[in-house]
Amino acid sequence: MRDLGFGRVAALAVVSVCVLSACSDDGPTLDDHEQISKLDDSERGALCDWWAQQWGGYGTTIMCGAAPHPNWTSQAECKSFKRDLFESCTQGTVGQFKACQRAADKNRCPYLEGSFFPDECDAFDRACKL
């Protein structure tokens, strides 16, 4: 399976508890127009935490039928795994990423299994040149 970029988690979904000062139900309190590549380390952490929250928490596994989809175990693992994207996605924004993840969550198992890819994620990937 190819790496499906930040917008496309494929077999790894992230999950966590949001730090109250960094997240809300609508996503991290980051500027939706902020470019992913311009986020500092704490902002990247807030985005990872929000992303993780969408999928149930760090260290959990999402079951789709008999297929397990393990999540990252920590914010550090998320930031490390996506370091290249955090540094190279010069056109993709926080808002585009959040829209992608919200759309993916509506069809969680098909998304994780690679049979569904939301238009919102396509837009994010195009912006990031993935």
Q: And the tokens for 48?
A: 């990872």
Question: Is residue 72 included in any domain, yes or no?
Answer: yes
Domain that includes residue 64, residue range:
23-118
Kindly state the helix (H) or strand (E) to which residue 40 belongs, with its residue range. none
pLDDT digits (tens, 9 = 90+) for 3-16: 344 444 332 333 32
119 has a pLDDT exceeding 90: yes
- pLDDT (tens digit, 9 = 90+) per residue, 34-81? 999 999 999 999 999 998 988 899 999 999 999 999 988 999 999 998
Per-residue pLDDT, 81: 86
H/E/C letters for each residue in 81-109? HCHHHHHHCCCCEHHHHHHHHHHHHHCHH
Question: Which residue from 48, 41, 6, 58 is spatially nearest to 23, judged by alpha carbons?
Answer: 48
For the segment 14-29, the average pLDDT, to the nearest whole number, is 44
For residue 35 the two structure tokens come to 């470019």
Q: Is position 33 within any domain?
A: yes
Does 109 map to a domain? yes
Query: Total domain count for the chain?
Result: 1
Residue 23: band (very low, low, confident or very high) from pLDDT cuts 50, 70, 90: very low
Q: pLDDT tens, 94-114? A: 999 999 999 999 999 999 999
Q: Are 52 and 86 in contact (CB under 8 A)?
A: no
Look at residue 18 and tell me whether its pLDDT is greater than 60: no
Residue 60 belongs to a domain = yes
- 65 dihedral zone (left: phi>0; alpha: psi -120 to 50; beta): left
Q: What is the pLDDT of residue 25?
A: 52
| All residues at 6 or more sequence positions from 73 whose CB lies less than 8 Å from its CB, including other chains | 58, 59
What integer is the mean pLDDT of 23-35? 75
* This model's pTM is above 0.85: no
Task: Determine, yes or no, domain membership for 85.
Answer: yes
